[in-house]
Amino acid sequence: MQNEQVNVNIAHADPIVSAGLAALLGAHGDIRIITEGMADVVILDHRNGMEHMRRSAAAMHREAQPRVLVVTQLEREWEVRTAMMAGVHGYLLQNADAEQLLTAVRTLSRGMRYLSPELSRCVADSFTRIGLTNRESDVLQLLAQGQCNKSIARELGIGVGTVKTHVKGLFDKLGATARTHAVVLATRRGLVGDSYLNQSH
């Protein structure tokens, strides 16, 4: 372990969360809270973290950019995955303990990524389970519209038995126990969007 100081800029949208983060981190000698100048780690909420990554991607920076740690209440799989895929370096839930916060900041300062163990499991689980075939995806979209097996079969030009097979495949991959459960899980994971559900045809 290096004994170098880590400069942290807390730019979370929630002032109470910011104050709590500053108090927890400021109590440690190897961490210095800064408001200006070059930070090693910047802590943001989910929305501002995503915005920060978009701006960083669009700009051509000559100097090194700070590592980005998102601290948020958003824990749905697709929210975590979207942030990590956008380039966020660390993702921590607001109910994490002080030890996790410290580990996250120190891990990022060493150039690595940090995802809390429970979120790692949830994201890895979603990646391994979700590999829908095109036909399963079609069935899922129609399920999301509330259609029964018979009307799905008619719409897709396949047999009712085949629809049942695809629905069973969807349940297995999503970890669902019922049709509505499958739709809820799929929506959480971004597999069916609101725009699709709102279509009138």
> Which residues, 6+ apart, have CB-to-CB distance to 100 below 8 Å?
92, 116
What's the domain range around 188? 130-197
Final residue in a domain of this structure, among 92, 127, 162: 127
CA dist 19 and 112 (Å) reads 25
Say if 179 falls within a structural domain. Answer: yes
Asked whether residue 22 falls in the same domain as residue 52, the answer is yes
- Which of helix, strand or coil describes residue 184? helix
Asked whether 79 and 55 are in contact (CB, 8 A), the reply is: no
pTM beyond 0.75, yes or no = no
Asked whether residue 87 falls in the same domain as residue 98, the answer is yes
| Domains contained in the chain, number | 2
pLDDT in tens, 29-79: 999 999 988 899 999 999 999 999 988 877 666 567 899 999 999 888 778
- pLDDT greater than 60 at residue 199: no
Asked whether residue 91 falls in the same domain as residue 180, the answer is no
Return the CATH number at 65. Answer: 3.40.50.2300
pLDDT in tens, 121-173: 777 666 555 677 878 888 988 998 889 999 999 999 999 999 999 999 989 88
Where are the strands (E) in the chain, listed by range?
Answer: 6-10, 31-33, 41-44, 67-72, 90-93, 114-115
